[in-house]
Structure 1
Amino acid sequence: MKLQFKVQQYQTDAVDGVVDVFSGQPYADGVKYRMDPGKAAAPTLVDDAGLRNAEIALTPLQILTNVHGVQRARGLELVKDLKDPVKKSAAPINLDIEMETGTGKTYVYIKTIMELHKRYGWSKYIVVVPSIAIREGVKKSFDVTAEHFQQLYGTKPRTFIYNSSRLHEVERFSSDSGVQVMIINIQAFNATGKDARRIYEVLDDFQSRKPIDVIAANRPILIIDEPQKIEGDAKKPSKSLEALAAFNALFALRYSATHKIQRTKVHRLDAIDAYNQKLVKKIAVRGITVKHLAGSSAYLYVDGLEVGKGADFPKARVELEVQTAQGIRRQVKRLSQGMNLHDISGGIEAYKGLFIRDVDANRDIVELSNGDMIGAGEVTQDVAEDQKRRIQIREVIRAHLDKERQLFAQGIKALSLFFIDEVAKYRDYDREDTLGEYARVFEEEYEAVLADFLGQLDLDDAAERYRKHVEAIPVRSTHEGYFSIDKRTGRSVDGKIAARGDFAGQSDDVDAYDLILKDKERLLSFEEPVRFIWSHSALREGWDNPNVFVMGMLKKSDNTTTRRQEIGRGLRLSVDQHGERMDNPVTVHDINELTVVTDESYTDFVTALQKEIIESLSARPRKASVDYFTGKQIKLADGTTSVLEKSIAQSLYNHLVRHDYTDDDGLVTQAYKDARADGTLAAPTAEALKPMIDFVWPLVDALYLDIPKPVDGRKPKKIPFNEANFKKREFQELWSRINHKAVYQVEFDSDELIKNCIRTLDKSLNVTVMQYLVEAGKQVVGLELEQLEAGTGFKVSETKVEHSAVSSGSTVKYDLLGEIAEKTQLTRRTCAAILTHINPGTFAKFKQNPEQFITEAARLINEQKATVIVEHLTYDPLDHRYDSSIFTENQAAQDLSKAGDKLKKSVYEYVVADSKVERSFVEKLDVSDEVVVYSKLPRGFSIPTPVGDYNPDWAIAFRDDTTKIKHVYFVAETKGSMSTLQLKGVETAKIECARKFFNSLDKTDVKYDVVTDYTELMQLVTA
């Protein structure tokens, strides 16, 4: 397998947040300097030149202005200056990039490196990481993305891991052109070991030079990965932070999900943003709770509840003690309402008089005849540690099989990860089979759970293919441990973990991570039998294979590892067998769900996790105020941006207060959240606010911490399929009309696009005048050769900023056509036709600020391109059709507690509504005399559009035996508001594309439209 990479806008936004800070910096492909050849160097080396990064030419004021522009565009608080909050600093300028775990921050900073080199010529970079584990993972990321970046930039970074015994690589880092990247873990230059000290020492094998001096002469740009693990905090900065200053960095970029020291933040993608944008997996939790029943000694563990088609459903999977020929054993039984536990147990006295009074799948509880209620995940007796671990292992296996069955047909391999306290629990070398306690329990439980699971599978082709796949994998081959290797014995051992200092809790053992980090592509293949992985010290710092879907926390909780760190290794979105990322926004969370199996209750785990997330968001604004809104930048419908003036900010704040959308403390109220969700927000009275009101709501949304709450992993269940409703003539007629697959094409006149672009550029293209810095200086008295060579022979006595209307082309080489062609995906010929026909005064703006000219021109051209595409889009239905199996196969489980009552006319027996609007719509449909049958269309049914696949909401068949109904077959999209401005731009485009798709079908008696409620639907079908 080969992992595939693609350009994603959210990652590009993070890159731009850094690159735009230096807008106006002249391009310089390195500055030559005379390298220190060392005392032992051969004479030929004296003339060799190094190639260091050019100095920053912008003034602090210019950089601050750029920073403010970046922060406004991202809704970040504006910094007052660029000063560092602590005296000890890695560089004069430190920029924070906040990115939630699993969103690809390593990819982002590699792309940032490439973009900085492309824009400004900077080529020397040092990536500093807190541990060997992360170092190995970063090097792997550089390797696997090299081809991708070669295609994007025509070059790729040359990387090496710093090693004090391979100092020739440092020499090459200094002398070679192109992008040079040194990766170094903090222990390599900030520890007491002999190897770590070598970087500061004059070395005979390095021509009597200090490696740190040779590195520092390059004026490298620092990339600090996980700085909170390196720098300490503002009150007590670590020694590592002081050590970073020795690199003499041009500036430092700090990438983390949890910055401890807040510096100049230029991008934020926190836990809430990542979840809402569907960039990480959603989380489900299966906890275990001990429930004490008064006066009862009966052991019961409710594993979960199942729904199905038969009269004896729902059923509960319950573990209880059973009298067998080998004595009393604990077994899992499927129990229905009315079953006698005393009989099921084989006559064990503790269960006498107990039977199942009710099995409630909506509330996920089992009610006993004595009135006691036991929820899924609850055990009725105190259980020993070994029994609790056995339950957890079983839960991991069951959760794995549930997820694996769903994903197998889609070509996605599911992996599960166990975290344990010590290797001996998994690997026991005193036994012939070398299986530790947990490994033996795993194999016992796996065989039992798999047999039960396969016995419940549907009898269809997809299920049969899955059955053959898992039955071909021996239990001994499907689990493996990844631990440190004892080099003397070759055996797995507990890794070497630092106990104190800056690196407490981190392993320095390279062998611990070889397989788990370097061969992760192999683990993603169906040909590799390993599906269950056991790990020890990698818990907090290394393993991030994208296809981890289940985690078993067999490791005891401690104070050094947070729940966020524990689950962070599994948040990355999964990939299929082709290495393609599963990030379709329609189905992303149906596929990407991480189930965490823990030994504490669901409530306790979720409460603690959400508390940690809230604490990590401490820097995020929470209160509405005039000051908060003033100066914020918003994007309007035409793609232009606007900065909120204080008068507009005042009007907006007054509007929120007037309608009780904020409370006395400025916090957003539930009234606002409900109105926002339902599309019923009050319209403003202030005239200046009216045209932009729909575009300022995201600023209000950003104020409340709507923390995504992990679901209870036992509650989601497959919704039973109503086969009788599906086979009704009316639904089959409707389905046969809409189940075409289709392709779209866009045929438009290039001249039309060119004319539109010329007109728009002449009317709307605005750029700011470029500034440049003028410095005056005097030669230093008593100048020495070393000062001249180092460029410090002159002292600046005066600086001033000038505005330029003259092209900076003498220092900055721009491929104008190439840049715009790349950003618009148009040919150079088309771009040339546009640019050569705009007014001379418009084109002259290129000289004022080339970079902004390119960016703004590309944006305006893309807007016109999008408009033309939608206008000229046509669909061609194919003979190939969607199979009806998409209604049953690979459908995600749903939380029935949100489903309402069982439905009579639906193809599914329950519908989980996305909103109050949808819930009301379903209730009216199900009791309507005019409706025969309807269905929430499955996620597998989608219409291709230029802006992404589109999945309509409903297919409805009305009675055809009345003249009242004009449109028997209807496909509907339900929305809380019909205001175009209250629909997202992409969503609006998809709806317009869907109209064209349904109009293209052979059968014209299918009507498609957007409705707000059932009343409006009836108006449309009777019109």
Structure 2
Amino acid sequence: MKFKLENPQHQMTAIQSVVGIFRGMERNTFDNAHNEDIHMNVCSLSNQQIHDNIQSIVLENGVSETQTFLVNENDACIEMETGTGKTLTYLQTAYELFKQYGLSKFIVLVPSVPIRQGVIDTFENFKEQLSDKYDITPNVFVYDSSKISLLHDFITSDNLQIMVLTMASFNSENNILNQVDREDMFNNLPHLESLAQTHPIILMDEPQEGMDTENSKQWIAKLLPLFKLRYSATHAIKKNVLYQLNPAESYRLGLVKKLEVLTVSESNDEATLKLEISQVQPSSTQVKVKIKLWKLNKSKGRFEFKESGLLKKDDNLADKSGNESYRDYTISRIYKSMTDRKWHVVFTNGSEIIEGSSSSNKEQVWALQLEWLIRRHFENKNRLRPHGIKNLSLIFIDRVANYMSPERPIIKQLFEQKYRQVYAEFNDGKQPADSDVLATQGFYFAKTTQGEYTDKEDACRKNKEIFDEILHNKQRLLSFESPIEFIFSHSALGVGWDNPNVFGIATLNESYSENKKRQEIGRGLRICVNQSGERVYDNDETPEEEQINQLTIVPNETYETFARSYQQEYEEQFGVGTNIPKPKHTHKGIRLNRVTFKLKKDETFMRVFRRFWDVVARKTTYRIHMDEDELIRRSIESLNEIRINDYILEVQSMRITDISNLNNAEYYGSESYTGRARFNPHDLVEEISEKTGLCYTSVLKIIAGISNKDQYIKNPPVFMEQAVFKIRQVQLDELVRCIEYTPTGNIYEFKFEDFSKDGCEDWIATPNHGVWDKTLYDSSLEKEFAREADKITNSEVLCFLKFPSWYKIPTPIGNYEPDFGVVLHKRLLSSPHEDKEYYFVVEIKGTDDINDTRALTPHEIGRIKCAVKHFKSLGIEAYYKAPIKEYETFKAQANQTINNNGNI
């Protein structure tokens, strides 16, 4: 595969902006640019003429005054959003400057090995096409101290020369370029001095990555550059900004993929016991710390993730937060590590949190991230392969050991587990071979700043083929011949590597990412390519659900402020009030368009629907015959399961050395005791009665019946909290068990007419079997159910509808709104020429199991069980199916119901 050379307008504008700096300059020739054996870059323009040109270019490109940063230096910025072809742009700029002005000496200065390799890969891919376009074959090479002859050619040749150089190659006196006693020196000068006599134009790739330190600036100045050109999406230092292609403009023009942010979090996040260091108050005697944790807001009656007060050694987090879940968390040590120079807080239970990190159930979070990344990957695979596009997913990890460790590579284990799970979902329950699971994984773990591979270098060396394919051979990686689809990377890969066919990125970090958000998502922003190396763009008219170039970001917990951080970065870069591209959330926004839903007019069809509606339209009321003795018995049984950790009392000795400054007290030790808390039995009765609605008599019977009163004595607040929760669960179960529904004689009146809605987006066309020509949906599962039910080949469906929002079934825990009504017809064996209609009401959820407490809340389960009794009370054949995840499950259950009735 070879990527096809394109000349999009934004790249040509950026190229011509640089060419315009030298407008009016005399062309370099052998006569005016050669001195003895050295061929150099020379400029016949004065400084004033150059900077007049720069000001003209800035005006032509419409760069705002606040963003130009004009300075009287031969130094300029070209700002291009990641993924818009920055490397190819500056390489073509060198071709254009040579073609128009004879400028022949260019140094591409890069901050790292990955970026250096990316430059060479780009040139090799487009070399033939660029030669055809410019009729020039340049000498492009990576500086290698063992191949000094290439450097000599660079100095002497009048042909176009492009040398790729890292800062580490020349920023020390010990480097070969700076040595003064070598036999291979050019004109008896150190190589750096000879190189400086060529006055190269320096193309700085990602200059914010270490090229603007004082040391780096001094070494770059020794090259005596004719001009410095800075290329980046995130400049830290801006000078003479010639051209600016910001994220908003890139997004608007469709030059990068659209974004989806798929957040992964738990609904009961407080159960993760998340902890974060938010502030440290250092002291030579007693260090104190503020920790973000789940605190009880007594006025609101709920937990909130908020900052604590100042905490010290031996403080117990449960005591300080009102959250008994933290009872095991007592601070044993607060210190600053000499290794990572970060603050650490250690607890008596062995847990530890580090400054910038979050202590939570990371493995569960990782599993959810991987599950959704892989699910999106398979969805992309199904939609992209017919277009000849191979999709890739990128997974960032913090510690290589979490993937490579022979003892417990937890991320690798979680990935393979979730891969098999999702693979089966998309392949009719089949499981992949172990060899296929292994083959789909690739990894690249970048070098540290010390030049060593992160964690174990030998592990990367042993897998050199995979390593090289990801870093060096993007073309093979993009072909269907390569089995690699998921790439694991250390966070160091965040800058310097990208791939046009990355459609998903997950960040499985243990700590807050140190990379900028824009750099991270930039790894997958490029427009994708097909098997012929051609970029595949989406038309403006392409519906959102059919767009090819969609990038899904699956952030970890540290991305809770993803959108805010992204916006802050943008405003720091481009100023407040600019047009910020908004990442698309999984849940769609509302557009102000008006949509009309037309009722199907076919009379035969409507007769079927009217018969169905006559069945399900009958209203009911309910009565509850609560069995108090059963409620008390079950509550006693449930409360007896409560187990509370020991109540701990801390005794601490502090000696005051200065009565005027108690902060200087000296710590002399502490002891821990298991004690018994003071309590009042009436508190327990009052608390339970108030929060459950039970009368005092019932509560007293429950308390009298429990056999674990010693658990209450250990920690009354915790016991009461758990007791209230368990009794409420029993109440809910009993409500559902004892409820009875009775028809009222009233019905839900159906409006047989068209209707319109403003701001309506979440609908799908249902012209075949839908009561209306369009059907609303509340989730992707509902959308898919409607799509399957409406297929013209689905001949068993006579009609279906999404129940209107006014169709509500009363329950003691809130009104219930079912999802779909479906009418099926089957041929009777007893009467081969006669069809019979069957009526179904369907509830769509993310599971087929009513006992799946992960997918269903207790109230959802309760309302479904109430609906079962409501439809049974109608006394006619309206079959209720809940929960249902997809149409095929419904079809199987419906057929089973019909078979059980003996009709087919």
TM-score by length of structure 2 reads 0.52
Match in the other structure for 2:306: none
Match in the other structure for 1:256: 232
Match in the other structure for 1:12: 12
Match in the other structure for 2:489: 535
Match in the other structure for 2:391: 414
User: AA paired with 2:101?
Assistant: Y
1:221 paired with 2:194, answer: no
* 492 and 23 in structure 1: CA distance in 2 versus 1, 3 angstrom threshold: closer
How far residue 901 of structure 1 moved from its aligned partner, in angstroms, is: 6.5
Structure-1 separation of matches of 2:172 and 2:477:
35
* 267 and 908 in structure 1: CA distance in 2 versus 1, 3 angstrom threshold: farther
* 410 and 484 in structure 1: CA distance in 2 versus 1, 3 angstrom threshold: same
Q: Secondary structure at the match of 1:613?
A: helix
* 201 and 565 in structure 1: CA distance in 2 versus 1, 3 angstrom threshold: farther
User: AA paired with 1:56?
Assistant: C
1:50 paired with 2:38, answer: yes
Match in the other structure for 1:244: 220
User: AA paired with 1:711?
Assistant: K
Match in the other structure for 1:712: 585
- Does the CA-based 8 Å contact 1:136-1:513 persist in structure 2? no
Structure exhibiting the larger radius of gyration computed from Cα positions? 2
User: AA paired with 2:420?
Assistant: E
User: AA paired with 1:549?
Assistant: F
- Does the CA-based 8 Å contact 1:473-1:529 persist in structure 2? no
* 450 and 510 in structure 1: CA distance in 2 versus 1, 3 angstrom threshold: closer
Tell me how many residue pairs correspond in the alignment. Answer: 519
Please, which of 109, 128, 144 is the counterpart of residue 128 of structure 1? 109
How far residue 584 of structure 1 moved from its aligned partner, in angstroms, is: 4.1
Structure-2 separation of matches of 1:726 and 1:449:
38
Match in the other structure for 2:506: 552
Structure-1 separation of matches of 2:600 and 2:13:
45
User: AA paired with 2:425?
Assistant: D
- Does the CA-based 8 Å contact 1:602-1:712 persist in structure 2? no
Match in the other structure for 1:201: 180
Please, which of 422, 442, 447 is the counterpart of residue 480 of structure 1? 442
Please, which of 107, 124, 132 is the counterpart of residue 151 of structure 1? 132
Match in the other structure for 2:267: 291
Residue pairs, 1:593-742, within 5 angstroms = 593-600=550-557, 604-618=561-575, 704-713=577-586
Q: Kindly indicate whether structure 1 or structure 2 has the higher relative contact order, using CA contacts under 8 Å at least 6 residues apart.
A: 1
How far residue 571 of structure 1 moved from its aligned partner, in angstroms, is: 1.0
1:280 paired with 2:256, answer: yes
User: AA paired with 1:57?
Assistant: S
Structure-1 separation of matches of 2:168 and 2:468:
19
* 67 and 898 in structure 1: CA distance in 2 versus 1, 3 angstrom threshold: farther
- Does the CA-based 8 Å contact 1:31-1:52 persist in structure 2? no
Q: Secondary structure at the match of 2:28?
A: coil
How far residue 383 of structure 1 moved from its aligned partner, in angstroms, is: 6.4
- Does the CA-based 8 Å contact 1:484-1:495 persist in structure 2? no
Structure-2 separation of matches of 1:726 and 1:110:
61
How far residue 145 of structure 1 moved from its aligned partner, in angstroms, is: 1.5
Structure-2 separation of matches of 1:213 and 1:909:
74
* 78 and 609 in structure 1: CA distance in 2 versus 1, 3 angstrom threshold: closer
How far residue 94 of structure 1 moved from its aligned partner, in angstroms, is: 0.7
Q: Secondary structure at the match of 1:134?
A: helix
- Does the CA-based 8 Å contact 1:281-1:571 persist in structure 2? yes
- Does the CA-based 8 Å contact 1:483-1:494 persist in structure 2? no
Q: Secondary structure at the match of 1:230?
A: coil
User: AA paired with 1:134?
Assistant: I
Structure-2 separation of matches of 1:512 and 1:169:
30
Cα shift readout 1:231-289 (whole Å, capped 9, x = no counterpart): 43xxxx42101211111111111111122222111101011111111111121111122
User: AA paired with 1:210?
Assistant: P
Structure-1 separation of matches of 2:99 and 2:774:
54
Cα shift readout 1:785-836 (whole Å, capped 9, x = no counterpart): xxxxxxxxxxxxxxxxxxxxxxxxxxxxxxxxxxxxxxxxxxxxxxxxxxxx
Structure-2 separation of matches of 1:79 and 1:606:
24
Q: Secondary structure at the match of 2:203?
A: strand
- Does the CA-based 8 Å contact 2:200-2:223 persist in structure 1? yes
Cα shift readout 1:570-589 (whole Å, capped 9, x = no counterpart): 11111011110122443497
- Greater shift, 179-188 or 65-74, is seen at 65-74
1:387 paired with 2:364, answer: yes
Match in the other structure for 2:472: 518
TM-score by length of structure 1 reads 0.47
* 144 and 612 in structure 1: CA distance in 2 versus 1, 3 angstrom threshold: same
User: AA paired with 1:401?
Assistant: F
Structure-2 separation of matches of 1:388 and 1:65:
56
Cα shift readout 1:669-726 (whole Å, capped 9, x = no counterpart): xxxxxxxxxxxxxxxxxxxxxxxxxxxxxxxxxxx42211111236599xxxx99999
- Does the CA-based 8 Å contact 2:90-2:203 persist in structure 1? yes
- Does the CA-based 8 Å contact 1:99-1:269 persist in structure 2? yes
Residue pairs, 1:182-581, within 5 angstroms = 182-191=163-172, 194=174, 196=175, 198-206=177-185, 208-232=188-212, 237-292=213-268, 384-429=361-406, 436-455=409-428, 474-483=436-445, 493-494=455-456, 514-558=468-512, 560-581=514-535
- Does the CA-based 8 Å contact 1:167-1:211 persist in structure 2? no
Residue pairs, 1:68-147, within 5 angstroms = 68-77=55-64, 84=71, 92-147=73-128
Q: Secondary structure at the match of 1:228?
A: coil
Q: Secondary structure at the match of 1:569?
A: helix
Structure-2 separation of matches of 1:170 and 1:283:
44
- Does the CA-based 8 Å contact 1:199-1:212 persist in structure 2? yes
Structure-2 separation of matches of 1:270 and 1:510:
37
Cα shift readout 1:471-502 (whole Å, capped 9, x = no counterpart): 9982121112223699xxx9994569xxxxxx
User: AA paired with 1:60?
Assistant: N
Match in the other structure for 1:757: none
RMSD: 4.0
Q: Secondary structure at the match of 1:544?
A: coil
- Does the CA-based 8 Å contact 1:130-1:186 persist in structure 2? yes
* 391 and 49 in structure 1: CA distance in 2 versus 1, 3 angstrom threshold: same
- Does the CA-based 8 Å contact 1:30-1:52 persist in structure 2? no
- Does the CA-based 8 Å contact 1:28-1:121 persist in structure 2? yes
Work out the percentage of aligned pairs sharing the same amino acid. 33
How far residue 212 of structure 1 moved from its aligned partner, in angstroms, is: 0.7
Cα shift readout 1:920-941 (whole Å, capped 9, x = no counterpart): xxxxxxxxxxxxxxxxxxxxxx
Structure-2 separation of matches of 1:726 and 1:180:
72
* 290 and 542 in structure 1: CA distance in 2 versus 1, 3 angstrom threshold: same
Structure-2 separation of matches of 1:511 and 1:62:
52
- Does the CA-based 8 Å contact 1:412-1:577 persist in structure 2? yes
Residue pairs, 1:168-179, within 5 angstroms = 168-179=149-160
- Does the CA-based 8 Å contact 2:442-2:484 persist in structure 1? yes
Q: Secondary structure at the match of 1:289?
A: coil
How far residue 538 of structure 1 moved from its aligned partner, in angstroms, is: 3.9
- Does the CA-based 8 Å contact 1:285-1:713 persist in structure 2? yes
- Does the CA-based 8 Å contact 2:365-2:557 persist in structure 1? no
* 723 and 81 in structure 1: CA distance in 2 versus 1, 3 angstrom threshold: closer
User: AA paired with 2:579?
Assistant: D
Structure-2 separation of matches of 1:140 and 1:174:
24
- Does the CA-based 8 Å contact 1:64-1:81 persist in structure 2? no
* 588 and 101 in structure 1: CA distance in 2 versus 1, 3 angstrom threshold: farther
Q: Secondary structure at the match of 1:205?
A: coil
- Does the CA-based 8 Å contact 1:203-1:209 persist in structure 2? no
* 210 and 33 in structure 1: CA distance in 2 versus 1, 3 angstrom threshold: farther
